[in-house]
Structure 1
Amino acid sequence: MSVSVSVDVLAVRWESMFVALVSFRDEYGHVDIPRSFCRGAGASLGAWVHRQRSLAAAGTLPADRRERLEAVGMRWSLSERTTGIAAFAAFQCTEGHGLVPHVFTTADGFPLGTWVQSRRRQWANDPVNTVRLWPELVDLGFVWQVRDRDAAWDAGVAALTQYSRDHGDLAVPHWFTTADGLQLGRWVDSRRVEYRTGALLAARVEQLERLGMVWRLRLPADDPARQRREDVHFAQMLRRVQAWSTQHAGQLPAARVVDSDGIAIGRWLIRQRQLHRDHRLTTDRVTQLNAWNRAWSCPPGSTST
């Protein structure tokens, strides 16, 4: 009798969760629910859906339940979700921001730009629940609402014009940020990506070319101007890392750490470690880093030998 009651309880729970799943599908138009999702009557709906996928993968999900789940739109693999999150994180790490051009496709063919736009449209329709459905993107600092694009364009052009007046060229280093916080180097890099992919409007191409834009800028490594700018940038970033470390009892900044000005000092230090491992960091820069903290080349949490 107790076994029968136990089976009945499990069956009732399964039916209850299935009803919650149907309700979710009716509200959102899909059942691609992250494992962490919790809400109302389906308090652990995300975990329950994950369990059904695990059972299906193991071949132990009853055929009638599998058919019912497929009838409401269940997808047994969420590889696109995983791929999208991973691709966005990689883009963000490489570019230093998450403003993916809408035509951007990864090297392995994933349409990341389209995927990101879909997330923003989802947020525009239901901000509260979209944030709850995508905790991974929240953790990555995903920007759900991009500011007015025309205003952003005008601000970028104005900053680039001023840079040209101050420096005599448009060879903006990737790291360059204006006094008011505009990441001009990254803005220029994004425009070059759009130009190469044909996504930049002809009028805007003409506007930048009137300023003297060079679309495929490649300064040689031994160019004196490039070396001076890189040396200045290195010194500035090292001072920022030192200041942060002093304020935090000598700790090394982890990957996602930014300083009080929002500068990604954690990513910068990771880059220096990578260059050092590849024997591409100059002796002078290694000496400066060692003079600050000889443990700089060891990631936080690791132990040096």
Structure 2
Amino acid sequence: MLAGIRALFGGRPSASPREGWVRCANPQRLHRMHYIEWGDPHNDRVLICVHGLTRNGRDFDTLAHTLSSHYRVICPDVVGRGRSDWLPNKANYGLPQYVSDMMVLIARSGAEQVHWVGTSMGGLIGMAIAAQPDQPIARLVLNDVGPLVTGASLRRIGEYVGRAPVFPDYAAAEAYIRAVSAPFGPLSDDQWRHLTLTSLRSRAEGGFEMIYDPGIGEVFRAAPVLNDVDLWPLYDGIRCPTLVLRGAESDLLTAATHQEMGRRGPQARILEIPGVGHAPMLMDPAQIAPVRDFLLEQ
């Protein structure tokens, strides 16, 4: 896996990633969380990038490579995704477990403070940490997520999460990922290929499957989602500088909520990405630039 990343980015020292695992605890047992780390391992400036619901840390390869000369960039696979372990009790897939795991990861990094980029679910995890007293996030980027999560978007997600078919070949897998991830916007063929290759694993019986626990979907289907999820009290507790990106066609973060995030809580800087729904993938220079500029501000 790492050889493929190094080949993609030329194998330069600042671009060469390293793999790691950290042991975390769930109510039944211990589990291992996998991560990829970029940049100087001795850099005390740490950036943590956390992905969306069914994605994994490889979504941030381009962003991490871009920022690896400034930061030690750590991109975890949230438990149940990527190369991380799956939870034995699927009901434990949720913010309390994710926050606990990320605090272990931050402790492993040795950093007193970190910067954070979170896409969708990764942003909710960042919000939950940043709202706590004596918290470690010094700068927060929320990518297409906010304190009001629409019921419509949750119902859409519940229709596909955990229900991905087994794919007979790579072409079928890419066609499926392009379809369910169409809101990501107009990605290039190479970008779609990257997202597909990093989302699959081979099956012993032949074909491919997605690299996440289908049990993640059980939480969405345990009870019908009828209303929006209101997390404004959490957001209002955030005090660190915050940037909120919104895909202009997003059904998860509405334009009204996005504007209100600029007025309440940390009074976030807000930016809309045209031609994209949920969520901007931060894979091209135009999307990366405002994130880089915000994080590196003095």
TM-score (norm 2): 0.24
* Structure in which a larger fraction of residues adopt helix: 1
Higher gyration radius (CA): 1
Could you say which structure has the greater relative contact order, defined with CA pairs below 8 angstroms and 6 or more residues apart? 2
TM-score (norm 1): 0.24
* Structure in which a larger fraction of residues adopt strand: 2
